[in-house]
Amino acid sequence: MYVKEAEFHELDTICAIGFDSWNNGLSDEKYLDECRGSEKYQAGTWYVLMENDDILSSLIVYHGRFNLKEGYFGIGSVATPYKLRGKGYASHLINLVKAELFLNHNAKAIFLHSDIGHQFYNRLGFVSVGGSDCMYISHDSSKFDGVLPTYF
């Protein structure tokens, strides 16, 4: 099992993983069209957890937008294929991407907006900012008291 930046040809598969959560009532085809044209998705870097040629989990990383200041990164659209959930893949991917951002991208802190119970992200070291759904983890365990990034 290993993590890598997603390749262009993998983007349709990645989008399809999130279909059950983010389709907003669209058909498969319309949802995929929306993903392909998404400015937001094009602005980030997708990471995937792989085994052989299979994508086990995926997420997107942002920086330089959504009010994320220098050294601040955002993780979004964390998703695992429906049949592969509950096996630790998303947790493993988040931990590997966290390590990559702190070690190789000089990240000061990483943010996310949790659409699910905070305990999932608490277990991975993220804490809620002021009780909101915006959660973060810093490289030096410092408390965050700046302006929150906008939703991504």
Ligand X SMILES: CC(C)(COP(=O)(O)OP(=O)(O)OC[C@H]1O[C@@H](n2cnc3c(N)ncnc32)[C@H](O)[C@@H]1OP(=O)(O)O)[C@@H](O)C(=O)NCCC(=O)NCCS
Residues near ligand X (CB under 6 A) are: 21, 57, 78-80, 85-91, 114-117, 120
Least spacing, CB of residue 117 vs ligand X, in Å: 3
User: Is the Cβ of residue 81 or residue 145 nearer to ligand X in the bound state?
Assistant: 81
User: Is the Cβ of residue 67 or residue 114 nearer to ligand X in the bound state?
Assistant: 114
User: Is the Cβ of residue 106 or residue 151 nearer to ligand X in the bound state?
Assistant: 151
d(Cα 32, Cα 20) in Å, to the nearest integer? 12
User: Is the Cβ of residue 106 or residue 116 nearer to ligand X in the bound state?
Assistant: 116
User: 2: which strand partners?
Assistant: 50
Least spacing, CB of residue 149 vs ligand X, in Å: 14
Burial of 46 (0-12, 13-18, 19+ CB in 10 A): buried
Least spacing, CB of residue 92 vs ligand X, in Å: 7
Contacts 24+ apart (CB under 8 A), 80-88: 80/17, 80/56, 81/17, 81/55, 81/56, 81/57, 82/20, 84/56, 84/57, 87/56
Least spacing, CB of residue 20 vs ligand X, in Å: 7
